[in-house]
Amino acid sequence: MAKHVVVIGAGPAGLETSAKLSKMGLRVTLVEKEETSGGHLKNWHTLFPGNMPGLKALESIKEGLDENVKIQTNTQVTALEAVNDYFTVSGHNGWQEKADAVVLATGFKLFDARRKEEYGYGIYENVITSSDLETLLAKGNLFSNHKNPARIGFVHCVGSRDEKVNNLHCSKLCCITAVKQAVEVKQLFPETEVFCFYMDLRMFGRHYEELYKEAQEKYNIQFIRGRLSESTEDKEGNIIVKVEDTLLGKPLRIKTDFLVLMTGMEPAAGTKSLTAMLGLKDVSDKFIRPLDEVLQPNFTDMPGVFVAGTCSGPKSVSETLADARSAALAVEAFLKE
């Protein structure tokens, strides 16, 4: 009988790993705490580069699943124990499976922007997050009660590279997402002035720099280097932003209709609890530390337990999928031994 792998988390990483493991002839159980699979991707309007809708990308990934993959939703993993040469994985609802290998694909959670209370998320109606913006774009009702917003601001690094919220790491995708979203907004509202408030712009990926250039030259998006100090709401519900333009060395006060906070990535609750449960190593950012970040990014200190996707650090969807395939290969190699 084919060996059995339990994959925890049915986001892009878990789905892709399962699909590839199944192709390799292994039996897979994919456990998901939520009602449906897809993770954050199912709520994401479009991906960059290529502007593929998140749902469409998700469908393509799911096409790889076959009858060898059993999906167990609404199940929160509460215990994972190594017994002799196999693992027992148990869920909160009594679900239990034996596995020859386990893949952690528990992913990330978005930083809770309410923790940066000075930006007013959850207090001022017109302060939203990048994730909210994707949802609004997907629904097609972005700023529906504001026909022509005069100004919109994007705030980079909310919950990333910020000692005050104990997140030193860069979430790396928020920069390109802000540029992508700024362009999308500008396409919808050409008359609107769009500002991006950034510390550094980290345009590391292919086509990223090009889009950034286009955003400035074609779409006239204003990039202001400076970290927001605070925002307040005036009586009309506009958001007044206080920021220092550190290139000009001048403090600015800008009245915006909407403020979009580019929330960073933190390890998901499930990532944290499994790390603690298994006694896996993490670093100060609390993402799981693989056995070797360069050579063995999918192995952990615990033989038979693997990582895939953003539970081992922020990744784009394309990077996540590549990591998932790499994890599948690692599992196969391990089970063959």
Binding residues for another protein (CB under 8 A): 112, 115, 117-118, 120, 123-124, 163-166, 230, 232-233, 242, 284
Nearer to another protein, 136 or 165 (CB): 165
Work out how close the CB of 125 gets to another protein at its nearest, in angstroms, rounded to a whole number: 12
Question: What sign for the dihedral angle of Cα 181, 182, 184, 185?
Answer: positive
Work out how close the CB of 117 gets to another protein at its nearest, in angstroms, rounded to a whole number: 5
* 111, 125, 294 from 232: Cα distances, Å: 21, 11, 44
Nearer to another protein, 36 or 166 (CB): 166
Nearer to another protein, 115 or 225 (CB): 115
* Residue 304 amino acid letter: G
Nearer to another protein, 239 or 328 (CB): 239
Nearer to another protein, 112 or 319 (CB): 112
Work out how close the CB of 123 gets to another protein at its nearest, in angstroms, rounded to a whole number: 5
* Residue 217 amino acid letter: E
Work out how close the CB of 71 gets to another protein at its nearest, in angstroms, rounded to a whole number: 29
Residue 224 is encoded by which pair of tokens? 């202001």
Nearer to another protein, 55 or 252 (CB): 252
The number of C-alpha atoms within 13 Å of 274 and in the hemisphere containing its C-beta is 31
Question: With helix as H, strand as E and coil as C, how does 31-58 read?
Answer: ECCCCCCCHHHHHCCECCCCCCEHHHHH
Work out how close the CB of 112 gets to another protein at its nearest, in angstroms, rounded to a whole number: 5
What is the b/e burial string over 143-180, where b = at least 16 CB atoms within 10 angstroms of the residue's CB? Answer: beeeeebebbbbbbbbbbbbeebebebbbbbbbbbbbb
Residue 180 is encoded by which pair of tokens? 């992508």
Counted residue by residue, the chain has a size of: 337
Nearer to another protein, 70 or 242 (CB): 242
Work out how close the CB of 111 gets to another protein at its nearest, in angstroms, rounded to a whole number: 8
Residue 331 is encoded by which pair of tokens? 């599992």
Q: Pick from 108, 115, 109, 124: which is nearest to 260 by CA?
A: 124
Question: With helix as H, strand as E and coil as C, how does 84-100 read?
Answer: CCEEEEEECCCCEEEEC
Question: What sign for the dihedral angle of Cα 315, 319, 323, 324?
Answer: positive
Residue 275's region, left for phi above 0, alpha for psi from -120 to 50, else beta, is alpha
Cα Rg of the chain (Å, integer): 21
Nearer to another protein, 51 or 229 (CB): 229
Work out how close the CB of 235 gets to another protein at its nearest, in angstroms, rounded to a whole number: 10
Work out how close the CB of 297 gets to another protein at its nearest, in angstroms, rounded to a whole number: 26
Nearer to another protein, 70 or 115 (CB): 115
Alpha helices in 75-170 (DSSP H): 130-139
